[in-house]
Amino acid sequence: MNVVVVDTYKEIGEKAADIFVAQLLMKPNSILGLATGSTPLSLYEALIQRYKDGKIDFSQVTSFNLDEYVGLAPDHEQSYRYFMEKNLFEHINIDKNKTYVPDGLVKDADAFGKAYDQQIKDMGYIDLQILGIGANGHIGFNEPDKIFTYATHKVDLAETTIKANSRFFDSIDDVPKQAISMGIGTIMKSKKIILMATGEAKAQAIRDAIYTDPAPEHPASILQFHQNVTVIVDKEAASLL
C-alpha cells in the first residue's frame, strides 16, 4: 500500500484527482468505480474544476458506483444516484447512459447483484476504484462480518452506520436499514484502488486497514492483499499510524 499523508481535506481531493487525470490520459475509456459519502466530495470538486480547465475528458468513461440504499428511488434526495448526479455527473461530460449505480428499488437483489458483477466483468473490471471508509472499517457498504462477501449483494446496515448516516436525514428513523453494495471480490478485482479518509474519527479504521491481520471484522484490511492501493489521508486520519 502506498500511504500519502497530506495537510488538508482539499489536498486529499487534489491528490486523488491527479491519479484520475493520469488514468484518463493513459486510457480515455477507463471504467471508473465511484463512491459516495462526504469524503469523495473534495475529489469530485477537484475533478469538476479540472474538467472546466480542460484538463480531463470523461466522454469515453463508464462508471459503476459502489452502493445504493434499498428503498430509495433514484430521484430521492438521499439516494446515491441523486448524490452522483448533483455532485459530479451534471458538471462533467460523462455519458449518463454509461453511469451505473445499483438499483435500490430492485425486487430480486441476488439477480441484480449477479448482473451488476457480470457487467463489470464483461467490461474487463474496474480500472480505478475510489473508496471512502466507514468509522467501523466498512468499504462500500461491506460491514464488519464473519466472512468477506464476494459478490454484489443486499446488506443489513450496522447500527453504527445508520447512526453515522442519520446526519443526512430528517430523523434516524428515515435512514434505510439495508443497502445494495458491490462485494469485496468485485472491489478487489479493480486494477487500481484509492482509499481516502479525513478526520480523527477515521484514524482507527485507517490503522486497522493498514496494520491489522486481514479479517472480515475489519473489511478494509482485505486491501492489504491488493497490488495497487493508494491510501490518501490527512494528518488526523493518519494519527494512529
| DSSP string computed for 18-41 | HHHHHHHHH-TTPEEEE--SSTTH
| DSSP string computed for 92-154 | S---GGGEE---TT-S-HHHHHHHHHHHHHHTTS-SEEEE---TT--BTTB-S-SS---S-EE
Q: Cβ 25 to ligand GLP, closest distance in Å? A: 27
Q: Which amino acid is at 162?
A: I
Q: Cβ 12 to ligand GLP, closest distance in Å? A: 11
Q: Please tell me which residue in 65, 68, 127, 136 is annotated as part of the active site.
A: 136
Q: How many CB atoms lie within 10 A of CB 148?
A: 17
Q: Please tell me which residue in 65, 117, 127, 138 is annotated as part of the active site.
A: 138
User: Smallest Cα–Cα separation from 185: which of 148, 147, 153, 212?
Assistant: 148
Of 66 and 94, nearer to ligand GLP (C-beta) is 66
Site string for ligand GLP, 110-149 (x = CB under 6 A): ----------------------xxx-----xx--------
Residues 15-54 that bind ligand GLP (CB under 6 A): 35-39
Q: Is residue 176 involved in binding ligand GLP (CB under 6 A)?
A: no
Residues 53-72 that bind ligand GLP (CB under 6 A): 66-67
Question: Active-site residue 143, yes or no?
Answer: yes
